[in-house]
């Protein structure tokens, strides 16, 4: 057989103009316009040229590709005119997966976003008085209600400590920490334990945020042990605040010591210095009721006397991306007046989503919040769904197994807490685990699985029950 040189193959590639003029592409030009089609043609031809150049396309390969040119152009057009941000099925079992958008929203939040955003709203308008209003009042009233409530299992707030709690919202928890530090400690020192100088996934580092806030970090103690006396000895005339940071994504075990939040609060009060706590996940209910231990709630922190608590809206709270600052009305009032607050403010979509999520809490309708619903799913229930999914694969090319495993809360909540689950182990003799996970990701919607020790695992805890069918159909179609 005569082999064709690359330069000959290059000569066979048509020009962009030649392709555009083809009559079988006229319908594409009519539908998408000349500019979009020209772009798509250029991209497809560039790809073919690269494939010839790298030796991926030979004589017959190129012939085939040219025969299917119009369909390739059509595909390219569809790709460039469709959304880049799209839904995926999270079968990893990591509930608050930052890469997968953290908490899914409750339906009422979606409805409320739609109604608040599709038309004008009273975002900053006092309807009764007919004059300018404040955007934060929409959620502050609900936070007040929730944080005044002493839930089962949480520490009752001693009367002497009870103060008016106020809440403001910014873009994310990193912004909340920045705002708190800048407001209370710009130009002064903030004392933090060396065991809490954390980096949270995606470049949130306490020392870096501290620098940006204008405060000076005063480290005390050691990685594994910090005593109350370390804080006390570090205090000087420049000290403006104490900061406690939740060890969101790691644990220190063994020979360790850390004063309790109550002891820190007492020291702060004695010295008349505010205590800030970066709680990270910020549960609004006592998770011990849901079988999760070791995750302090916002209410606990406030009850123990923390002056300002910061937490994320899209972690355990189960709402939109936001950073929440709850604390004494006096301090929160100072943060509201800081010009940074204006720079970090959130839009009406966030307020709408947050308000709807908080209302579900006020109504104790925890099952309406996907995060809390997934958290409460028992291993048996997940097992039943997993078995049903496995049954749809009987007699197919899949070899499957169902094993015990653990789901992860993620998002920096209760790093030591594991949720027992059942896992579907997927195997195909002709595909490696890596290849299999690529196939799953190329489904529509993409299915994101866990790959562990050379096995592909699906954890249905984080899959919405109505998606089980979609997964079953997708698995059938992978041949």
Ligand X SMILES: *Cc1c(COP(=O)(O)O)cnc(C)c1O
Which residues here bind ligand X, judged by CB under 6 A? 172-174, 200, 204, 245-246, 248, 278, 280-281, 312, 323, 412
In angstroms, give the least distance from the CB of 479 to ligand X.
40
* Cα→Cα distances 267→52, 191, 271, 298, 326, Å: 72, 12, 6, 20, 20
Q: Report which residue's Cβ sits closest to ligand X.
A: 280
Evaluate the omega torsion of the peptide bond into residue 445 and state whether it is cis, within 30 degrees of 0: yes
What's the rounded Cα separation, in Å, for the pair 241 and 181? 8
Contact 277, 246 (CB under 8 A): yes
In angstroms, give the least distance from the CB of 339 to ligand X.
20
In angstroms, give the least distance from the CB of 173 to ligand X.
3
In angstroms, give the least distance from the CB of 80 to ligand X.
31
In angstroms, give the least distance from the CB of 269 to ligand X.
23
Query: Would you mind telling me the total number of residues written for the chain in this entry?
Result: 479
In angstroms, give the least distance from the CB of 463 to ligand X.
24
What's the rounded Cα separation, in Å, for the pair 4 and 403? 54
How far from the centroid of its chain's Cα atoms is residue 453's Cα?
Answer: 26
Nearer to ligand X, 175 or 360 (CB): 175
In angstroms, give the least distance from the CB of 331 to ligand X.
19
Nearer to ligand X, 173 or 371 (CB): 173
Q: How far apart are the first and last CA of the chain?
A: 33
What's the rounded Cα separation, in Å, for the pair 430 and 453? 17
10 Å CB burial of residue 95 (0-12, 13-18, 19+) is: buried
Nearer to ligand X, 246 or 439 (CB): 246
Q: Report residue 386 as tokens.
A: 């997993």
In angstroms, give the least distance from the CB of 410 to ligand X.
10
Contact 471, 463 (CB under 8 A): yes
Nearer to ligand X, 246 or 428 (CB): 246
Nearer to ligand X, 199 or 381 (CB): 199
Nearer to ligand X, 87 or 201 (CB): 201
DSSP one-letter string for 99-147: GGTSSPPPHHHHHHHHHHHSS---TTEETTTTEE--TTHHHHHHHHHHH
Nearer to ligand X, 248 or 421 (CB): 248
* 121 Cβ contact list (under 8 Å, min separation 6): 348
In angstroms, give the least distance from the CB of 78 to ligand X.
34
Nearer to ligand X, 153 or 201 (CB): 201
Nearer to ligand X, 299 or 424 (CB): 299
Closest C-alpha among 248, 232, 243 to residue 308: 243
Strand order in the sheet with 399-410: 94-96, 399-410, 418-427, 455-459, 450-452
């Amino acid at each position: 057989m005569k082999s064709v040189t690359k330069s000959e193959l290059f000569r066979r590639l048509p020009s962009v103009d030649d392709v555009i003029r083809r009559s079988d592409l006229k319908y594409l030009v009519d539908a998408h316009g000349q500019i979009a089609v020209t772009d798509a043609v250029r991209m497809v031809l560039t790809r073919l040229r690269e494939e010839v150049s790298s030796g991926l396309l030979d004589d017959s390969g190129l012939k085939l590709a040219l025969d299917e040119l119009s369909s390739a152009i059509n595909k390219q057009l569809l790709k460039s005119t469709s959304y880049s941000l799209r839904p995926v099925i999270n079968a990893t079992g990591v509930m608050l997966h930052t890469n997968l958008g953290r908490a899914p929203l409750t339906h009422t939040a979606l409805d409320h976003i739609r109604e608040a955003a599709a038309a004008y709203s009273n975002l900053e308008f006092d309807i009764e008085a007919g004059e300018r209003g404040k955007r934060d009042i929409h959620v502050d009233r609900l936070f007040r209600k929730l944080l005044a409530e002493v839930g089962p299992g949480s520490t009752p707030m001693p009367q002497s400590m009870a103060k008016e709690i106020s809440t403001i919202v910014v873009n994310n928890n990193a912004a909340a920490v920045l705002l708190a530090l800048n407001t209370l400690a710009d130009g002064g020192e903030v004392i933090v334990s060396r065991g809490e100088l954390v980096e949270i996934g995606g470049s949130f580092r306490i020392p870096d945020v501290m620098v940006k806030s204008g405060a000076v970090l005063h480290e005390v103690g050691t990685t594994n042990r910090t005593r109350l006396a370390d804080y006390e000895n570090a205090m000087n005339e420049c000290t403006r605040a104490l900061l406690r940071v939740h060890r969101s994504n790691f644990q220190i075990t063994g020979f360790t010591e850390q004063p309790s939040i109550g002891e820190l609060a007492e020291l702060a009060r004695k010295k008349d210095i505010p205590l800030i706590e970066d709680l990270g996940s910020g549960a609004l209910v006592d998770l011990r009721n849901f079988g999760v231990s070791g995750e302090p709630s916002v209410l606990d922190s406030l009850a123990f006397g923390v002056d300002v608590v910061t937490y994320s809206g899209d972690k355990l709270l189960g709402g939109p991306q936001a950073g929440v600052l709850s604390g004494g009305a006096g301090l929160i009032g100072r943060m509201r007046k800081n010009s940074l607050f204006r720079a970090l403010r959130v839009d009406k979509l966030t307020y709408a989503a947050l308000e709807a999520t908080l209302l579900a809490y006020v109504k104790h309708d925890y099952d309406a919040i996907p995060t809390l619903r997934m958290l409460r799913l028992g291993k048996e229930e997940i097992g039943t769904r997993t078995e049903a999914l496995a049954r749809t694969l009987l007699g197919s090319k899949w070899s499957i197994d169902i094993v015990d495993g653990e789901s992860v809360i993620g998002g920096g909540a209760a790093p030591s807490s594991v949720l027992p689950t059942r896992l579907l182990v997927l195997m195909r003799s002709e595909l490696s685990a890596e290849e299999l996970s690529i196939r799953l990701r190329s489904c529509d919607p993409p299915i994101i699985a866990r790959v562990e020790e050379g096995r592909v695992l699906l954890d249905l805890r984080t899959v919405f029950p109505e998606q089980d069918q979609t997964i079953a159909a997708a698995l059938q179609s992978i041949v």
